[in-house]
Amino acid sequence: MTSCASLVNRIETNIDGLESKKWQDDEQFMALWNAMLETVSEFQVPIGKVKKKIQTTTLEEAGLIRHRAYLALRRANNVFAVSEDVSEKAAYEQIYNQFKALRIKTQNNRENKTTNFNVLIDKLRSAELAPSVNLLKLDSFVVRLETANKLFNSTEQTGTIEKIHGKITTNITDRTKLMNDYQLVVNYVQAMVALDKEPFIKLFDAIDEARQYFARDISYRDTLKKNKKEETKTDSTPKVA
C-alpha cells in the first residue's frame, strides 16, 4: 500500500517542481488532483510524510463544475449532428439518444440526477457506446464529466472538504481507491496530451518519470528477493561428503 502512496508522492513532487503552474487553472484537473491527494494523505503517517493540499469545494460549486462538464460533452457531440460521414452520424445519434433517455437536463430531483449521471458515465464506458465515444474523439470530455461527477459525489457524501493542518490520524484507505484516483489523473493528462494541450505534456513527462523510477525500483526488489530465495535454497541443500 505504501508503495502506491510513494509513487503518488513522487508524482506530486515532480509536478510541483515544474516551472509553469498553468495546470492549476484547469478546474476539472484540479478536482481530480485534489481528490487523489485527499486519498493519499491517509498513507502519509506510515511512510513518514504528512502533507495536504485540498481545495475547499461546496456542493453547489461541485454541481456547477459537473453541469459545465455535461454541457461540454453534449456540445462536442452535437458537432456531429450535421456530419456527412455515415459512421459519425450514427455514433452521434447513439450518444444523443442516451442523453435523451436519461433526461438529465430536465431532472430536478438531486438524487435522481446523481443516479442518472452515474448511469450515463457507465453507459459511455460500456462496450456498447465506447466505440462511438472513441470514433468522435469524445474521451477527454467523458473524462472531464467523470472527474466532475466523482467530485460531486464525494462532496455530497462528506460535506465541505476542509483543509487539514498538522498531523493527521492514521487511517489506511483501501489501495483500490487510491489506484482509481491515480488512474483518473493519468487518464485525464493523457487525454489532454492527445489534444496537444499545454502544460499537460510536461505533466505527463513528470508522471512518466515517477512511474519509470518505481518500475526500476520494483524490478530491483524482485531481483533481490529472487536471489535471496536461491541462496536460501542452496544453503539448505545437503552436502555430499
Residue 170 C-alpha cell reads as 492514521
Q: For position 133, what pLDDT does the model report?
A: 93
Least Cα distance to 195 among 204, 206, 208, 183 occurs for: 204
pLDDT, residue 88, reads 94
On the question of pLDDT at 233 being above 80, the answer is no
> CB-based contacts of 129: which residues, under 8 Å, 6+ apart?
94, 95, 98, 123
216 and 152 in a common domain: no
Split into its structural domains, the chain has a count of 2
- pLDDT grade for 87, boundaries at 50, 70 and 90: very high
Q: Are residues 62 and 94 in the same domain?
A: yes
pLDDT band at 124 (very low <50, low <70, confident <90, very high): very high
Is there a domain that residue 236 lies in? no
Assigned domain for 230 exists: no
Q: Residue 77: how many CB atoms within 10 A of its CB?
A: 22
User: Would residue 235 count as lying in a domain?
Assistant: no
4-47 tens-digit pLDDT? 777 888 888 888 888 888 888 888 888 888 888 887 776 654 44
How far apart are the C-alpha atoms of 190 and 196, rounded to whole Å?
10
Let me know if residue 107 belongs to a domain.
yes
Q: What pLDDT score does 196 carry?
A: 84
Question: Does the pLDDT value for residue 119 go beyond 60?
Answer: yes
Say if residue 65 is in the same domain as residue 155: yes
Question: The whole model's pTM is what?
Answer: 0.49
Q: Are residues 61 and 143 in the same domain?
A: yes
Q: CA 125 to CA 98: how far, in whole Å?
A: 12
Same structural domain for residues 61 and 156?
yes
Instruction: Quick: pLDDT tens for 194-219.
Output: 888 877 888 888 888 888 877 776 66
Q: What's the CA gap between 106 and 125, in Å, rounded?
A: 23
| Confidence (pLDDT) at 85 | 93
The answer on 109 and 136 residing in a single domain is yes
Interval 139-163 mean pLDDT: 75
Spell out the residues 6+ positions from residue 123 whose beta carbon is closer than 8 angstroms to its own. Answer: 98, 129
Same domain, 193 and 143: no
Q: How many CA atoms does the CB half-sphere of 238 hold within 13 Å?
A: 2
CA distances from 88 to 65, 172, 234 (A): 28, 46, 64
- The answer on 197 and 156 residing in a single domain is no
Task: Tell whether 68 and 156 lie within a shared domain.
Answer: yes
For residues 143 and 235, which has the higher predicted lDDT (pLDDT)?
A: 143
Residue 41, CA distances (Å) to 38, 44, 76, 200 in order: 5, 5, 36, 24
Of 185, 73, 82, residue with least CA distance to 129: 73
Same structural domain for residues 190 and 110? no
Do 173 and 95 belong together in one domain?
A: no
What is the helix (H) or strand (E) element at residue 133, kind and residue range? helix 130-135
Question: Which of 17, 20, 46, 52 has its CA nearest to residue 33?
Answer: 52
Q: Within this chain, do residues 96 and 182 fall inside the same structural domain, yes or no?
A: no
User: 129 lies in a domain?
Assistant: yes
For the ranges 101-105, 146-150, 163-167, 169-173, which has the lowest average pLDDT?
A: 163-167
Does residue 105 register a pLDDT over 60? no
Domain range enclosing 23: 1-53+168-223
Q: How far is Cα 185 from Cα 77, in angstroms, rounded to an integer?
A: 23
Spatial distance between the Cα atoms of 51 and 36, rounded to a whole number of angstroms = 13
> How high is the pLDDT of residue 62?
83
Rounded CA gap, 108 and 151, in Å? Answer: 19
